[in-house]
Amino acid sequence: MRVRSLFILSILGFVSIQGCNDGSDSRPVDDLITPLTDCFWLEYDKEKYNYGLNDSGATVWLAAYSLPDEGARITIEAAFPYSRFMSLITYPVQGGTIDALADRDISADSGSTNPFIEGNPRHDPSRRYLVTIVSGPPPEESNSKDGNILYGGPSGAGGIALMVYRVYVANFGEDGSGGVGLPRVTLHMADGTTVQGEDACEILSLGVEEPPFNLPPADVYAEVRGSYDPSRNPPVFRATYGSEFRVQCDFYGDCSGTPEKSSGGYNNISTDYMYSFFNRQHGEVVVLRGKLPETPKTLDGTDSVFMEKQLRYWSVCPYEYYSTATTECLFDEEIIINEDGFYTLVYSRAEDRPSNATNECGVGFIPWSEEGDGLGIAEGRESNRDDGYILVRNMLPAPDFTQTIVNTRVPGDEAEVLGEYLPKGKYFTKVDFEGLGCNPWLAIPYDQM
Tell me the β-bridge partners of 60. Answer: 166
Per-residue pLDDT reduced to its tens digit, 154-193? 666 667 888 999 999 999 999 999 999 999 999 999 999 9
As a whole number of angstroms, the distance between CA 351 and CA 368 comes to 10
- pLDDT > 90? residue 15: no
The pLDDT score that the predictor gives to residue 147 is 85
Sheet containing 58-65: give its strands across: 42-43, 58-65, 161-170, 83-91, 99-102
Q: What does the pLDDT average to over 40-62?
A: 86
Q: What are phi and psi of 305, to 5 degrees?
A: -130, 160
Residue ranges of domains in the chain, CATH in brackets: 19-204 (2.60.120), 218-448 (no CATH)
The tens digit of pLDDT for each residue in 80-89 reads 999 999 999 9
Task: Please determine, for residue 307, whether its predicted confidence score (pLDDT) is greater than 90.
Answer: yes
Average pLDDT over residues 352-360: 98
204 vs 336: which has the higher pLDDT: 336
DSSP bridge partners of 298: none
Q: How many Cα atoms within 13 Å fall on the side-chain side of residue 336?
A: 18
Task: Provide the pLDDT confidence category of residue 364 given band limits of 50, 70 and 90.
Answer: very high
- 413 CB neighbour count, 10 Å cutoff: 12
Of 179, 80, 165, nearest to 126 (Cα)?
Answer: 80
CA dist 387 and 381 (Å) reads 15
Is residue 28 reached through a cis peptide bond, with omega within 30 degrees of 0 on the bond before it? no
Is 65's pLDDT higher than 70? yes
Is residue 345 within 8 Å of 287, Cβ to Cβ? yes
Q: Is the pLDDT of residue 79 over 90?
A: yes
State in Å, rounded, how far the first CA of the chain is from the last one: 37
pTM to 2 decimal places: 0.91
Is 415 or 14 the better-scoring residue by pLDDT? 415
The predicted pLDDT at position 1 comes to 45
pLDDT band at 24 (very low <50, low <70, confident <90, very high): very low
pLDDT of residue 28: 42
Residue 143: which pLDDT band, with cuts at 50, 70 and 90?
low
Please give the pLDDT value at position 156: 60
- The string of pLDDT tens digits covering residues 223-248 is 999 999 999 999 999 999 988 899 99
Average pLDDT, the chain: 88
Read off the pLDDT of residues 367-406 as tens digits, 9 standing for 90 and up: 999 999 999 999 999 999 999 999 999 999 999 999 999 9
Contact (Cβ atoms closer than 8 angstroms) between residue 323 and residue 330: no
How many CB atoms sit inside 10 A of residue 139's CB? 9
What is the predicted pLDDT for the residue at 198?
87
For 124-138, how does the pLDDT look when each residue is reduced to its tens digit (9 = 90+)? 999 999 999 988 888
Per the CB < 8 A criterion, the answer to whether 149 and 132 are in contact is: yes
| SS3 track for the chain | CHHHHHHHHHHCCCCCCCCCCCCCCCCCCCCCCCCCCHHHCEECCCCCCCCCCCCCCEEEEEEEECCCCCCCEEEEEEECCCEEEEEEEEECCCCCCCEEEEHHHCCECCCCCCCCCCCCECCCCCCEEEEEEEECCCCCCCCCCHHHEEEEECCCCCCCEEEEEEEEEECCCCCCCCCCCCCEEEEECCCCCEEEHHHHHHHHECCCCCCCCCCCCHHHHHHHHHHCCCCCCCCCCEECECHHHHHHHHHHCCCCCCCCECCCCCCCCCEEEEEEEEEHHHCCEEEEEECCCCCCCCCCCCCCECCCCCCCEEEEEEECCCCCCECCCEEHHHCCECCCCCEEEEEECHHHCCCCCCHHHCCEEEECCCCCCCHHHCCCCCCCCCEEEEEEEEECCCCCCCCCHHHCCCCCCHHHHHHHHCCEEEEECHHHHHCCCCCHHHHCCHHHC
Q: Over range 281-298, report the average pLDDT.
A: 97
125: buried, middle or exposed (CB in 10 Å: 19+, 13-18, 0-12)?
middle
**Radius of gyration for the alpha carbons in the chain, expressed in angstroms and rounded:** 22
CA–CA dist 123, 379 (Å, integer): 50
Would you state the pLDDT for residue 11?
Answer: 42
Which pLDDT does position 10 carry in this prediction?
41
Q: What is the pLDDT of residue 191?
A: 92
